[in-house]
């Protein structure tokens, strides 16, 4: 491994991160649905056994962080691994990275489904106090039996709920990835309502739900094999082979390379998600109140504009004008960032703040946005601390 970090000029929508690193490749949690098993990710060997361990990651991180030209959030983990999978208890690579990130005072986002992260709570609490920390935990159902069957190497539901509560009590922002929801197993109205209700009690800052993708090849084959084995043990219990196997055959009959189920099912899920977020007043993505703490002003507006488009598109509003504004802002801020190609030590974060403040004052940003009403909202965001949180008013 030659470098620790992958970076982008602008933050990712999913994690808010400008930089990403992964201590491992492959995952010992052994989740049968994991998209990382698909051939497209080129993970060699047995996905849940032949784990690639990046033992030099802490050393590389220590060298690279001081040289970053722009300060910004760092996410740990990826879609094909988990930073706190079982082998981390032995190797401690993620813990070593946590200590380095604390030293350099970078904001951090960690994605995991493991309660092992509690071992490092004291470190992440200090990171949160110095800059900010966000824990995103995967949890798709409160059903311990389904969880044990399809996530055999992962902590229990109760353990994950405890972890979320402990990080929340420590002052950290916490969110949940409720994905993938398994058709016939964890996607019912009752199952989702119970999950949202329990998570609201913590309370989590957001829930990002999503359906199951089954890509043709080894991922789909392994999941359906696991499903058959589980169903065979159910006997006369509610989930029978007769009920579920035809359901999967129908939902995934197109055998798309993306692994997506039928469009009607996806639309139905999305409608139910919107209802749940309105009912429980929970954000469907990392909320503005959280990423404002992580990002400089320029990146905050970049994420905000895309969330405006995502939210209003989801409720059926024509967002073609918002999409065009997004393109204009993205092109404008990208060019400005490239021009600020200085080292972190000379203050690009402050340059970004000053750039936006100046563009607001001179009217340049109004020209980029090209919409007086939206520009007025942005000015309130920057000057008055206004937040975008429509799910709080949508009941």
**Do 204 and 169 touch, CB atoms closer than 8 A?**
no
User: What confidence tens digit (pLDDT) does each residue in 46-57 have?
Assistant: 777 889 899 999
Q: What is the mean pLDDT of the chain?
A: 91
Q: Looking at per-residue confidence, does 42 or 39 come out higher?
A: 39
Would you place residue 242 in the very low, low, confident or very high pLDDT band (cuts 50, 70, 90)? Answer: low
| The pLDDT of residue 175 | 98
| The pLDDT of residue 348 | 44
171-180, 238-247, 374-383, range with the lowest pLDDT: 238-247
Global pTM value: 0.93
Task: Output the CA angle 294-295-300, nearest 5 degrees.
Answer: 125
Alpha helices in 172-262 (DSSP H): 189-201, 218-232, 241-251
**Do 255 and 216 touch, CB atoms closer than 8 A?**
yes
User: What confidence tens digit (pLDDT) does each residue in 129-149 have?
Assistant: 999 999 999 999 999 999 999
Other Cβ atoms within 10 Å of 23 Cβ, number = 28
Q: What does DSSP assign to residue 182?
A: P
**Do 53 and 91 touch, CB atoms closer than 8 A?**
yes
| The pLDDT of residue 239 | 52
Please state the rounded mean pLDDT for residues 96-112.
97
User: What confidence tens digit (pLDDT) does each residue in 184-233 have?
Assistant: 999 999 999 999 999 999 999 999 999 999 999 989 999 999 999 998 88
| The pLDDT of residue 346 | 46
Would you place residue 158 in the very low, low, confident or very high pLDDT band (cuts 50, 70, 90)? Answer: very high
User: What confidence tens digit (pLDDT) does each residue in 308-357 have?
Assistant: 999 999 999 999 999 999 999 999 999 988 887 544 434 444 578 889 99
Would you place residue 395 in the very low, low, confident or very high pLDDT band (cuts 50, 70, 90)? Answer: low
| The pLDDT of residue 214 | 95
| The pLDDT of residue 351 | 78
Please state the rounded mean pLDDT for residues 81-107.
96
Q: Report how far apart, in Å, the C-alpha atoms of 274 and of each of 283, 284, 316, 342, 387 are.
A: 10, 8, 11, 43, 20
Please state the rounded mean pLDDT for residues 367-391.
96
| The pLDDT of residue 236 | 56
Distance from the Cα of residue 328 to its chain's centroid = 26
**57-64 and 93-104 helices cross at what angle (nearest 10)?**
10
Contacts of 124 (CB under 8 A, 6+ apart): 98, 108, 110, 117, 133, 135, 167, 170, 172
Please state the rounded mean pLDDT for residues 97-121.
97
| The pLDDT of residue 80 | 82
Q: H/E element holding 50?
A: none
| The pLDDT of residue 347 | 44
| The pLDDT of residue 36 | 77
């Amino acid at each position: 491994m030659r470098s620790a970090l992958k970076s982008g000029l602008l933050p990712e929508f999913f994690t808010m991160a400008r930089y990403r690193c992964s201590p491992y490749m492959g995952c010992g949690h052994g989740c049968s649905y994991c998209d990382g098993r698909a051939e497209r990710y080129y993970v060699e060997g047995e996905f849940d056994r032949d784990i690639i361990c990046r033992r030099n990651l802490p050393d590389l991180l220590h060298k690279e962080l001081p040289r970053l030209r722009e300060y910004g959030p760092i996410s740990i983990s990826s879609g094909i691994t988990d930073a706190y999978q079982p082998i981390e208890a032995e190797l401690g690579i993620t813990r070593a990275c946590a200590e380095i990130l604390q030293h350099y005072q970078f904001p951090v986002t960690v994605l995991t489904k493991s309660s092992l992260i509690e071992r490092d709570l004291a470190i992440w609490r200090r990171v949160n106090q110095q800059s900010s920390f966000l824990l995103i935990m995967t949890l798709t159902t409160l059903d311990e039996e389904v969880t044990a069957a399809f996530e055999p190497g992962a902590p229990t539901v109760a353990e994950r709920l405890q972890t979320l509560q402990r990080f929340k009590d420590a002052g950290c922002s916490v969110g949940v990835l409720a994905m993938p929801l398994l058709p016939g197993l964890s996607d019912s109205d009752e199952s989702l309502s119970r999950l949202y209700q329990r998570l609201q009690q913590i309370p989590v800052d957001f829930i990002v739900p999503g359906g199951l993708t089954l890509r043709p090849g080894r991922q789909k084959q392994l999941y359906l094999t696991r499903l058959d084995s589980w169903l065979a043990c159910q006997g006369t219990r509610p989930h029978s082979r007769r009920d579920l196997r035809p359901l999967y055959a129908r939902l995934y009959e197109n055998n798309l390379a993306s692994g997506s189920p039928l469009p009607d099912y996806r639309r139905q899920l999305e409608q139910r998600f919107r209802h749940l977020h309105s009912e429980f007043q929970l954000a469907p993505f990392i909320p503005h109140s959280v990423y404002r703490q992580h990002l400089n002003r320029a990146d905050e507006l970049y994420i905000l504009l895309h969330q405006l488009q995502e939210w209003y598109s989801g409720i059926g509003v024509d967002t073609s004008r918002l999409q065009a504004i997004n393109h204009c802002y993205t092109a404008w801020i990208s060019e400005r960032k490239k021009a600020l190609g200085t080292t972190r030590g000379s203050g690009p974060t402050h340059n970004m703040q000053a750039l936006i403040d100046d563009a607001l004052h001179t009217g340049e940003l109004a020209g980029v946005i090209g919409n007086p009403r939206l520009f007025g909202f942005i000015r309130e965001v920057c000057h008055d601390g206004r937040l975008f949180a429509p799910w709080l008013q949508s009941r």
